[in-house]
Each structure stands twice: as structure tokens, then as C-alpha cells.
Amino acid sequence: MTLNSWQEQFVEHFRGLRQRLNASGNRRPLFALEHNLDPLQLAEVIRELKIHTTSTGPAQRHWAVWSVYATEIGYRFRGDEYWQTFAEELPGWARNEDRDFIRDALFRFHKDFQGPVPSGNWAKNFTIICWPITNAILPKDLQRHLAATLYDIRHSFTPELLSKPDDLGKLIAANSDGRSSRFRRFANEHELVGRIASALLRAKAEDANDLLEPHTLQRITQDLLAVHNARVWLQAARQRASSATMHGLRSRSSQGTTASYEPERAARAVASGPERLELTARKTGEDSWSIKAILPNLSHLETSNVSFQQTFAGQRSYIDASDKTHFAPRAFTVNRREVQLKRWPTPGKSIVRFDPSPPGLVEMLNAYCSIDGERDHLFRLRDDNNALPIRSRTLRSGRPGNRAVHDRLLPTYRPGRRKGRSPETRATGNAAFRRAAVLLGGVRA
């Protein structure tokens, strides 16, 4: 086929797809990656472009062909080689280069077929390549990052969240710390990212017709599943999304929509809720220790009350006892999280706080994110110098590795003690075990 023939085919394909979407009331953007070509057809298009560019630059009459090709380069884009790839695949491009034409072609694609419009700071700084990369939906180098983030936030999935791409996109962006800078910029396109994620979380491509063309979604999914870790992450996220949809987790109909604090519901949540805050210690020197707090997953609190949900989703949280004092929204609603502490927590008072905080949330956080002031804290010191909490008050003297360290042997971290000194221990090994047993009282040895 000639470029003229490919142009006609692309225009007919995208016009038909746009009309079908409009007829069903679906106003979603149409992406140039949704061309539905197989690899052999795409290779033929590239061959015709090579022939064309050996003698002349891109022609306006082929704008749809160039839109598709530029988007394909965007799909393979890895951050710094966009125009270089153009020149390598089309030897005549360097002689007849017209970068503005690529932007203009995709702008016409937007006007004729309601294609996406790039936005954000990245689009302002890269005014040309932002168009083909946005039309590429999910470039290959970002696929692994999205799969990992979906895995991390899978416990926050609800039918309501999965039905609102913008909210899902915001949650992804809030949990993009630690990913590549390109993914973090990409994640700021909340509506786009949420739409892509919603489509990927549907196990069957035909179930996502309203979000992406099945052929295109299948292609992206196959590329993503080809990476082992990404495959495991996406499969786990899909299972969780399917479970959330089937069982109606966090359904407003069963939990109500009131934003007020309900003490009885809160009491039930504490009684039946998951784990609480735990402390671990590590011996860092002959007479020094460091303390970490392992915070529980607070997603059950977020879902128990509308005002709580708004607070967790829209506000930073603070831990004054940590070197890192503030955390992103929903930082503690995905998995359990370790936080390094610079002082021993106040018993009965949550180390996590929100400012401002809705009625009832402080009480709930105190229940889950504080240490118990009514009992002593005992740690089992392992050979690797990590000290893990002993939840029971039972010590067995003959058990291997059963050296114990009492919190009273870590004076810097006791409430009311002067700050700034290195924690000290006055006994280790069997002596620590015996002293801890005496301090606890009634311990079976």
C-alpha cells in the first residue's frame, strides 16, 4: 500500500472508532496508538515512510500516517532518544526534518478524533514530543513502574475508586515516590493514568472497551507481562481489583455516607481491626540502639468514614518523633511501613497525626498507632543485632537466640528522659534475660 492508501485507511479507522464511541455516549480521548495494526503492517508503513523521506519531507496529505508513526516512536521512548530514533529509522529524516509538523499532525488528530491534549509542566517544557508520547498511552519504560505502583496500592481498591479514573490516578500519583522521575511526571496526569490503570486492572480486554480498544490494551498488557516482576505485580493487583468489585468492599450502601464520627462503629473497628503499631530495635554500637516503628496499614480506617477518607486522601500526615516529619497523602493506607524514630513514643498517643483532623480520627489513631503504656516492652536480641518485640510475657531460657533487652535498658527512648544521649544498655545476653524477667514479674523461664 502507498502512503496515500495508508492515510485513507487510518482516517477511516479512527473516524469509525470515534463515531462508535460517540454513539454509546463515550467521550473518552482517542489515542493514535489505537490504530490496530499488526507488526507486519506497521513494518510496511515504516518502509513507505523511508522511501518517501529519501527525497522529500513529510507531506500534509499524510498527517494521519505520521501521527501513527510518531506515536509508535513515543511508545518505545525511554527518555532521551526520541528524535535520534526518528533519524535512525528514517535515514532521509535528517535532511528533511520538520519537528513542528509532528506536533501539528497530532493536533489535527486531536481536533478530528478528540485525541488527548498533553498538559502539565512536562508538556510546557517539551511542546513537541509531548504529543506523540501522550498518544502512546503507556510507553514501555513506564509499564513496570505502573505495575509496581498498582501492586503497592492494591489494598486500597474499591468499586467506587476503580470506577473513577481521576481518583485512581491521584492515588497512583500519591504513591509514586521511589519511581523514575519520568513516571512521577507521567503520574501527574491523573485522568489519563487512572484510565490506563483501570483498563489494565480488567483481566479481559473486552471488558475495557469503554477505556481502550481491546487490541491496543492487549498489546500493552502483553508487553507488560513479558517482564517477570511486572507480571506478578499486575496479576496480584488484578486479583485484588476483581475481589473488590465482586464483593463490594467499602460499599457506601453497607457503610452509609455520613461524615460524622460514630463511636460504636469505631469501637467495633478497633476490636476487629488488624495489627497495631510495633517497635523494633537494632544495636548500632556497644552502648547504642536505634528504634523503628512499624505502622499498621490504616486503609480500614480510611474506609470506615467519609470524613476520614477525605483526610487520608487529601492531607499530609505528620510524625513528630521521626527524622522525616511529613508524609504524602495515603502514605499509611497501602502496606505496613517502617519509620525511623528519634525518640521513644509517648504511650497511648498516636505517633501519626493530621492537622486539621476530623472528629474521632485522633481517638482511632491513638488505638492503632501508639504503644501500650500499661505494660513493659521486651525485645528478643538476635545474632544480627536486631531486636524484635516479644508479644507475650513468656521467656524460655533454653531457647536459642533468647537473649532479651528490656526497654528500660534503652534510657534515651523512655518517656520523660532527656533527649540527645545515645541509648545505652547495661546488660546483654543472659544478664539481660534475667533482668528483663525480673522487671516483668511473673515470667516463666
Residue 418 in this model has a pLDDT that exceeds 70 = no
Give the best-scoring range by mean pLDDT among 11-20, 46-55, 274-283.
Answer: 11-20
Residue 412 in this model has a pLDDT that exceeds 60 = no
Segment 410-415 mean pLDDT = 34
Residues facing 278 on adjacent strands = 294
Q: Write out pLDDT tens, residues 201-259.
A: 876 655 566 778 888 988 998 888 887 678 888 888 888 888 877 755 444 444 444 33
Return the C-alpha torsion angle 353, 354, 360, 362, nearest 10: 10
Q: Give the cell for residue 404.
A: 532479651
Task: Please enumerate, as own/partner, the contacts of 262-271 that have beta carbons within 8 Å and a separation of 24 or more.
Answer: 262/305, 262/360, 263/360, 265/304, 265/305, 266/304, 266/360, 266/363, 266/364, 269/300, 269/301, 269/304, 269/364, 270/364, 270/367, 270/368
Which backbone phi and psi does 425 adopt, to 5 degrees?
A: -130, 135
SS3 398: coil
Residue 280 in this model has a pLDDT that exceeds 70 = yes
CB 283, CB 289: distance < 8 Å: yes
Residue 265 in this model has a pLDDT that exceeds 50 = no
CB 36, CB 9: distance < 8 Å: no
Q: Write out pLDDT tens, residues 311-357.
A: 888 888 999 888 788 888 888 887 778 888 888 888 888 989 998 88
Position 293 confidence tier, pLDDT thresholds 50, 70, 90: confident
pLDDT value for 376: 63
Residues facing 378 on adjacent strands = 406
As a whole number of angstroms, the distance between CA 172 and CA 187 comes to 7
Residue 276 in this model has a pLDDT that exceeds 80 = no
pTM for this model (two decimals): 0.57
pLDDT value for 232: 83
Q: Write out pLDDT tens, residues 428-443.
A: 333 333 333 333 332 2
pLDDT value for 338: 85
pLDDT value for 30: 94
Query: Which residues lie closer than 8 Å to 238 by C-beta, 6 or more apart?
Result: 200, 201, 202, 203
DSSP designation for 339: E
pLDDT value for 204: 61
- Percentage of the chain lying above the pLDDT 70 cut: 77
Q: Write out pLDDT tens, residues 90-109.
A: 888 888 888 999 999 999 99
pLDDT value for 269: 41
The string of DSSP codes covering 330-342 is TTTSSS-EEEEES
Q: Write out pLDDT tens, residues 145-167.
A: 999 888 888 878 888 888 888 88
Q: Give the cell for residue 3.
A: 502512503
The 3-state DSSP composition of the chain as helix, strand, coil percent (nearest 5) reads 50, 10, 40
Nearest-Å Rg of the Cα atoms of the chain is 28
Residue 295 in this model has a pLDDT that exceeds 50 = yes
pLDDT value for 72: 94
pLDDT value for 394: 52
How many CA atoms lie less than 13 Å away from 173 in the CB half-sphere? 18
As a whole number of angstroms, the distance between CA 175 and CA 159 comes to 19
Query: Which residues lie closer than 8 Å to 208 by C-beta, 6 or more apart?
Result: 198, 199, 202, 214, 217
pLDDT value for 135: 94
pLDDT value for 134: 92
Return the C-alpha torsion angle 418, 421, 426, 427, nearest 10: 110
- Percentage of the chain lying above the pLDDT 90 cut: 21
